[in-house]
Structure 1
Amino acid sequence: MSNQPPKSAPEHPSQTAPQTQPPAQRPRGVLRVALIVAVVAAALGAGIVPRLDARAALLQQTEALAVPTVQVTLPTVAPPDQALVLPGNIEAYQQTPIFARTNGYLKAWYADIGTHVKAGQLLAIIDAPEVDAALRQARADAQQAQANDQLAQVTSTRWQQLVQTHAVSQQDTDMKQSDAQAKHAALLAAQANVARLAQMQSYEKVYAPFEGVVTARNIDVGALIDAGSAGGPAKEMFDLAQTSVLRVYADVPQNYAGTQLDGTSACLEVAQIPGRCLPGTVARNTGAINPTTRTLRIEVDVPNAADAVLPGSYGQVRLSLKTAQPGLSLPVNALLYRPEGVQVATVDAQQKVLLKTIKLGRDFGTRIEVAAGLVATDKVILNPSDSITNGQPVRVSSLAAPRRQKRTEQGASHEAAACSRDAAAQRARAAAWCALRGECVRSRGLLDRSGLCATLGGRARGFQGERRPVLDR
């Protein structure tokens, strides 16, 4: 072994081994890393920034499309007159059953059903021999009573002359005078009996009480005619109806009962005369509301000289009612029926919904009168959604041109056109939405069958906040 001592560590750092990389090469590596980072950042910026801008633009457009588009209209002044159509029952102006006033057998009849007769025209003859015999007897009794009356009058006159000469007593004279008065009263009674039986004999001939048409005949020749004495109820012989003028009864709703009805022009429509409306006039009304139906019964007189309409038919009465102060009117498709009452949705100056509770007036069919709660400058939304609320932002697509309603049929055509325009606007908005959605998704990445977009990074995203994911790529 060697006796040399071990080597000790160097006392100064300068005596250590040299470094593996020269200090001059460090700045060059840093520049290379910075250059790579800049290139990657530029590449990422060139791809991400446009997508972020597109996403922001899409979000803005989506929010704009999320605001519902509505069509509004302005209230119009309701017409002063209104055509009110009511169901009516048609009856003859006069209709009465004809009975016999005397007992007997039917000798002949001269009018059958459907026969037009004049007032006083002979309808039938009844054979009543008992009445004829009683009349002859009454006339004989009247002649006897007349003879007794004449004798009593002469006797009373003579006794009054004799009492002046005191040839007879005053008592006998008074008795003769009283007997003359009694005989005269008996004559009057006999004459009254003759008149009664003569009237009974006149009942053997049955006459028409007024001009009309025979609607029923219930007797034949030889039938026993009972006037309704103790033998039982009387039997109807004929039924006569006056159809030259018809009475049409209709029930007016309580809302219109306050208007002037008597003297109002009206017309009658029946199925057997299509296309014609027979003119008439409201003649009278009951003057009281029916508590069961809450209606007012009116009578309309309609001339029917040609017998074009038959009594008992059903018809429709058209009334032209006038109002001194008409209100505003709206289409019926602008109304909202809610627990608070009938409401309409209006658009204020900030393009937000303002719900207003209104009171309804007259009904025009496709339009309805607003009695209170609305002004002429209110923009009323047509076809409002049931979920519409106060303060909801909306976009007004168009203002429906208000037109003064002249007839219900014109209002119906206007509303049908408005509905068509609204449906076309909805279809156009749906098509624009689909086009925008497809363009956006195609710009962002891949579009799958469900209509969702998958980004290039492989993360699943739904389109515009949709919760349905797409497959990672």
Structure 2
Amino acid sequence: MQTKPTRMGHKPLAVGLIVLAVALVAAGVISRRSVAEQVNEASAPLVPMVSVLAVKPITGAPLELPARIEAWQRAPIYARVSGYLKSWSVDIGAPVKAGQQLADIETPDLDQQLLQAKAELASARSNLTLAASTAKRWQGLLTADAVSRQEADEKAGDLAAKQAAVSAMQANVDRVQSLQRYTRLVAPFDGVVTTRNTDVGALISVGGAPGTELFVVSDISRLRVYVNVPQRQIAAIKVGDKAELTVPERPGKTFVATVQSLSQSINVSSGAMLVQLSVQNDSHDLLPGGYASLHFDAPLTSNALSIPPSALIFNKAGTQVATLGKDNHVVVKTITVGRDLGNVLEIASGLDSNDQVIANPPDGVATGDVVRVAAATTNAKAKP
């Protein structure tokens, strides 16, 4: 009796195919779910993470202000006579003494005017001599009743007129001679020549307008320092106070300046008062016209708040900061910066002492935005 062959060898293959199909279906479902989750995450709004800090009042902040330096005395030397520059003897940077000659002006026109004035004076004196003898003669004839009193008075009046003419001619000669003294340009005081705007042969005209000076002599052994002190701090400045002065061309070197006077008036446009200080400059390390920084010795107390410069937001609405409000919602506030103290800024208005300022506001942050606060939040007092 013949038996049928069994087909047990096909069963493992079928089972394997079924398992493979199930695995492919499961992989497709998982892949689609992952893509959907990524799409949902991408479409969800991104909540930025920020760090916040509590603002505190600035106490004992030193007063550091920009200032400008000027010569103690500065004299522009203008021409009082017209002519040509004959010679000059000092150049820029040269030290000069009071009365030292700076240049010599050749004045041919003025020389001729002096000759003419002297000739007119000589003619007037001749006329005066004749008028005096005539008046004396007529006075004698009047005594002898040879002429009328009217004629004698006319001769006396002519004598007086001739005397007045001589006085006028003498004054004109003195005037021209006085002008001739201005052909020599001299230094008005001890100092340094800081400007020379002429040369030999140059046409010289009578000047006086800014920019037409031939020389400028400055006394730089002592300098004036001008600084605008804000109204909030002016009460702490008084005559005799000391301040440290520094200039960029002398790094690491300080100079002592003394308050000389206060203008006793607040400038409407700047809200500051002009203060004048003086500083000795025997070594000529400081230069007139330069920029300087003043640091007053006495610390000044201020109730203003401070924040780091990184917290500022600049846009068309002005200078702003982002603060942390209720439920981590952003509140943007407009502020006014008082002073730049280096690593922090003094805020004059716009912030309260209980505000929490976002130290690193993200781009485009606006009021109502939600943020996440970093775990390590800077909550210390900002020090200048």
TM-score by length of structure 1 reads 0.50
Give the distance between the partners of 2:266 and 2:138, measured in 1 at CA: 69
Q: Is the 8 A contact 2:55 2:307 kept in 1?
A: yes
Q: Is the 8 A contact 1:336 1:344 kept in 2?
A: no
In the other structure, the counterpart of 1:65 is none
Instruction: Kindly tell me the number of residue pairs found equivalent between the two proteins.
Output: 317
Counterpart pick for 1:327 among 291, 299, 304? 304
Q: Is the 8 A contact 2:323 2:355 kept in 1?
A: no
**What code does the residue aligned with 2:83 have?**
N
**What code does the residue aligned with 2:59 have?**
P
Structure 1 segment 205-284 matched on structure 2, within 5 A: 205-217=184-196, 223-224=200-201, 226-228=203-205, 238-246=215-223, 256=230, 260=234, 268-278=245-255, 279=257
5+ residue gaps, structure 1, are 1-67, 409-473
For residues 351-396 of structure 1, the C-alpha deviation after alignment (integer angstroms, 9 at most, x for no partner) is: x5475555444243433345556554x3736646758978989797
In the other structure, the counterpart of 1:115 is 94
Deviation at 1:83, TM superposition (A): 3.3
Give the distance between the partners of 2:97 and 2:108, measured in 1 at CA: 29
**What code does the residue aligned with 1:78 have?**
I
Give the distance between the partners of 2:349 and 2:83, measured in 1 at CA: 70
Q: Is the 8 A contact 2:330 2:371 kept in 1?
A: no
Greater helix percent: which structure?
1
Q: Is the 8 A contact 2:226 2:277 kept in 1?
A: no
Give SS of 2:246's match.
Answer: strand
**What code does the residue aligned with 2:81 have?**
R
* Structure 1 pair 177–270 and aligned structure 2 pair: CA distance change class (3 A): same
2:381 corresponds to 1:402: yes
* Structure 1 pair 80–156 and aligned structure 2 pair: CA distance change class (3 A): farther
Give the distance between the partners of 1:310 and 1:389, measured in 2 at CA: 54
Give the distance between the partners of 1:249 and 1:239, measured in 2 at CA: 21
Q: Is the 8 A contact 1:113 1:214 kept in 2?
A: yes
In the other structure, the counterpart of 1:187 is 166
Give SS of 1:76's match.
Answer: coil
Give the distance between the partners of 1:225 and 1:375, measured in 2 at CA: 67
Structure 1 segment 168-183 matched on structure 2, within 5 A: 168-183=147-162
Deviation at 1:183, TM superposition (A): 0.7
* Structure 1 pair 84–157 and aligned structure 2 pair: CA distance change class (3 A): same
Counterpart pick for 1:318 among 279, 289, 294? 294
Bigger-Rg structure (1/2):
1
Give SS of 1:203's match.
Answer: helix
Deviation at 1:210, TM superposition (A): 3.9
Q: Is the 8 A contact 1:72 1:396 kept in 2?
A: no
Give SS of 1:94's match.
Answer: strand
In the other structure, the counterpart of 1:124 is 103
Deviation at 1:297, TM superposition (A): 11
In the other structure, the counterpart of 1:39 is none
In the other structure, the counterpart of 1:77 is 57
Deviation at 1:99, TM superposition (A): 3.6
Give the distance between the partners of 1:129 and 1:373, measured in 2 at CA: 71
For residues 287-337 of structure 1, the C-alpha deviation after alignment (integer angstroms, 9 at most, x for no partner) is: 453xxxx89896866543432133455x34336599886233344556678
**What code does the residue aligned with 1:272 have?**
E
In the other structure, the counterpart of 2:74 is 94
**What code does the residue aligned with 1:243 have?**
I
Q: Is the 8 A contact 1:125 1:205 kept in 2?
A: yes
**What code does the residue aligned with 2:304 have?**
G
For residues 101-132 of structure 1, the C-alpha deviation after alignment (integer angstroms, 9 at most, x for no partner) is: 243672x5433332211232222344557755
2:338 corresponds to 1:362: yes
In the other structure, the counterpart of 1:380 is 356
Give the distance between the partners of 2:95 and 2:343, measured in 1 at CA: 46
Give SS of 1:96's match.
Answer: strand
Q: Is the 8 A contact 1:72 1:379 kept in 2?
A: no
Q: Is the 8 A contact 1:353 1:392 kept in 2?
A: yes
Deviation at 1:136, TM superposition (A): 5.5
* Structure 1 pair 191–312 and aligned structure 2 pair: CA distance change class (3 A): same
Q: Is the 8 A contact 1:330 1:369 kept in 2?
A: yes
Give SS of 1:101's match.
Answer: coil
Give the distance between the partners of 1:178 and 1:288, measured in 2 at CA: 65
Query: Superposition RMSD on alpha carbons, in Å?
Result: 5.1
Name the structure, 1 or 2, with higher relative contact order (CA <8 Å, separation 6+): 2
Deviation at 1:241, TM superposition (A): 3.7
* Structure 1 pair 83–157 and aligned structure 2 pair: CA distance change class (3 A): same
Q: Is the 8 A contact 2:311 2:360 kept in 1?
A: yes
In the other structure, the counterpart of 1:428 is none
* Structure 1 pair 353–75 and aligned structure 2 pair: CA distance change class (3 A): same
Q: Is the 8 A contact 1:119 1:208 kept in 2?
A: yes
Q: Is the 8 A contact 1:356 1:373 kept in 2?
A: no
* Structure 1 pair 226–326 and aligned structure 2 pair: CA distance change class (3 A): same
In the other structure, the counterpart of 2:3 is none
What is the percent sequence identity of the aligned residues? 29
**What code does the residue aligned with 1:271 have?**
P
**What code does the residue aligned with 2:153 have?**
D
Give SS of 2:63's match.
Answer: strand
Deviation at 1:173, TM superposition (A): 1.5
Give the distance between the partners of 1:393 and 1:189, measured in 2 at CA: 95
2:280 corresponds to 1:307: no
Deviation at 1:153, TM superposition (A): 4.4
Deviation at 1:179, TM superposition (A): 0.6
Q: Is the 8 A contact 2:139 2:152 kept in 1?
A: yes
